[in-house]
Amino acid sequence: MPKNIQTPPIGAADIEAAAKVVAPFAVRTPLLSFPVLNERVGAKVFLKPEMLQRTGSFKFRGAFNKLASIPHDRRVGGVVAFSSGNHAQGVAAAAQILGMQATIVMPADSPVTKRERTKGYGAEVVLYDRDKEDREAISVGIAQKRGATLVRPYDDPFVIAGQGTAGREIAEDMASLGLVPDIVVAPASGGGLIAGVATAVKSKFPQAQIIVAEPKDYDDHGLSLRAGHREAHHAAGRTICDALMAAMPGELTFSINSKLLANGVIASDEEVGAAVAYAYRELKLVVEPGGAVGLAALLAGRIDAKGKNVVIVLSGGNVDADLFAKLVA
């Protein structure tokens, strides 16, 4: 990765180009609004349900845009990716569509549902111990040995631009409703989704506040925004938001997010679990914990939403049945 990034790695034009690439294959997810939620928080809230996206999360957007950019003469070597689950499925599904072999390096403790679905798209799954092994080193080794293309989960311009198509849809749909989004909230692990969303939304609505939502103690983006440079979180153990456990913001993503994000908010595992249950019981939506962290922060009162137009990205719905049952019980 370049050490000094002076200009943003992507812009609105890159997202426009990505939209043309992914449109025939990705789902254009709607904006949903619920009176019960609006009344609870005193705002006009719109939810972007990316669990309705192909593979059950926004990750398909960036994965497909990246894989489609690989020259045909290099596709024979296939692709390698490392992921706790959602990027894995996105890459595997995109590879299947494009006729490429995919190898995915996944933590051994990732949800069984995500592992099995990744295999279901025809990918080879290689497991590793996230406490003792370096997933990126394993992936690089496999890619070099096989002549494959490494597909990073967030620090790649094509991936960021692909994720940005979700933000492009938000901007277009809010404009079609005649509304200006005051606040747009999205979760972050490495920061690719919110970097793409921020780029797209701010290009149409420059006054919109873009807020990153993270699990409590895993708020490396919040720490980094306050410090003015990338900082790692120092969380120990696990969070139920298994998709949001990257230790530090990506270098490319933070070069965007440091300029476009207003601030960060957090939600505890208990608050996230309550949000998952709320979405199921009150909104009839199935959201995985990592996908519900923005909604959790809103419900916990950590976002100054009253009287405003607020968009919350629900980034995915790939949750183990046993965990989901426990959270909604």
**Which residues make beta-bridge pairs with 237?**
none
Residue 83: is its pLDDT beyond 90?
no
Q: How far does CA 73 lie from the centroid of its chain? A: 30
Question: CA-CA distances (angstroms) from residue 36 to 43, 281, 301?
Answer: 11, 11, 16
Residue 109: is its pLDDT beyond 90?
no
Mean pLDDT of 82-108: 94
Tokens of 66: 């990246």
Question: In the prediction, which pLDDT does 263 show?
Answer: 97
Mean pLDDT of 203-217: 98
Mean pLDDT of 211-229: 96
DSSP letter at 312? Answer: E
Positive or negative, the CA dihedral 328, 187, 86, 205 is positive
Residue 2: pLDDT band (50, 70, 90) is very low
Tokens of 217: 């103690």
Percent of the chain with pLDDT over 90: 89
Residue 164: is its pLDDT beyond 90?
yes
Positive or negative, the CA dihedral 138, 139, 143, 144 is negative
Question: In the prediction, which pLDDT does 84 show?
Answer: 76
Residue 284, burial from CB neighbour count under 10 angstroms (0-12, 13-18, 19+): exposed
Question: In the prediction, which pLDDT does 171 show?
Answer: 98
Mean pLDDT of 172-179: 98
DSSP letter at 316? Answer: B
User: How high does pLDDT run on average in the chain?
Assistant: 95
Tokens of 88: 């894995």
Task: Answer yes or no: are the C-beta atoms of 117 and 38 closer than 8 Å.
Answer: no
DSSP letter at 32? Answer: B
Domains of the chain: 12-57+157-328 (3.40.50.1100), 60-150 (3.40.50.1100)
Question: In the prediction, which pLDDT does 5 show?
Answer: 46
DSSP letter at 191? Answer: S
Using DSSP bridges, classify how beta strands 149-150 and 209-215 pair: parallel, antiparallel or unpaired.
Answer: unpaired
Question: In the prediction, which pLDDT does 6 show?
Answer: 61
**What angle separates helix 269-283 from helix 321-328, to the nearest 10 degrees?**
80
Task: For the chain, report the end-to-end CA distance as a whole number of angstroms.
Answer: 45
- Does the reported pTM lie above 0.85? yes
Count the helices and strands in the chain (H runs, E runs). 13, 9
